[in-house]
């Protein structure tokens, strides 16, 4: 039985994961992305610091709903980085799911 070195195995897994999701990178925002990302002024204005204290769902009243400060701040930073193009968000999201399931 042949043993694959750990680094080679990791690279093969990464290639397989990227190949499985590569077709979705060109898609537009969908479903809740339209509210959480493109419909959220804190995100679209790239206000990373404000995202740390804002609700995850922008239409929620203060103190109600989900609080996901790191995700919201990363969306604001990504909006600035990718100039609002969904492809960048999808690429980062897929890599995050593959590396940190």
Range of the domain at 73: 29-99
CA dist., res. 69 & res. 26, Å (int): 27
Quote the pTM value: 0.72
The tally of domains found in the chain comes to: 1
Q: Indicate whether 77 belongs to any domain.
A: yes
| pLDDT for position 90 | 83
Q: Indicate whether 1 belongs to any domain.
A: no
Q: Indicate whether 52 belongs to any domain.
A: yes
Tokens of 73: 């701040």
CA dist., res. 24 & res. 14, Å (int): 16
C-alpha dihedral (29, 30, 34, 38), degrees to nearest 10: -10
61 in Cβ contact with 39 (< 8 Å): no
40-90: pLDDT as tens digits:
999 999 999 999 988 888 776 666 677 888 989 999 999 999 998 998 888
Q: Indicate whether 34 belongs to any domain.
A: yes
């Amino acid at each position: 039985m042949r043993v694959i070195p750990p680094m080679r195995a990791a690279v093969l897994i990464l290639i397989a994961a990227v190949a499985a999701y590569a077709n979705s990178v060109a898609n537009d925002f969908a479903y809740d992305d339209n509210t959480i990302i493109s419909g959220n002024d804190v995100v679209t204005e790239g206000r990373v610091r404000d995202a740390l204290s804002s609700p995850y769902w922008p239409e929620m009243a203060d103190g109600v709903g989900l609080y996901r400060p790191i995700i919201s701040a990363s969306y604001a930073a990504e909006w600035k980085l990718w100039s609002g193009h969904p492809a960048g968000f999808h690429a980062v999201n897929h890599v995050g799911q593959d590396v940190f399931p």
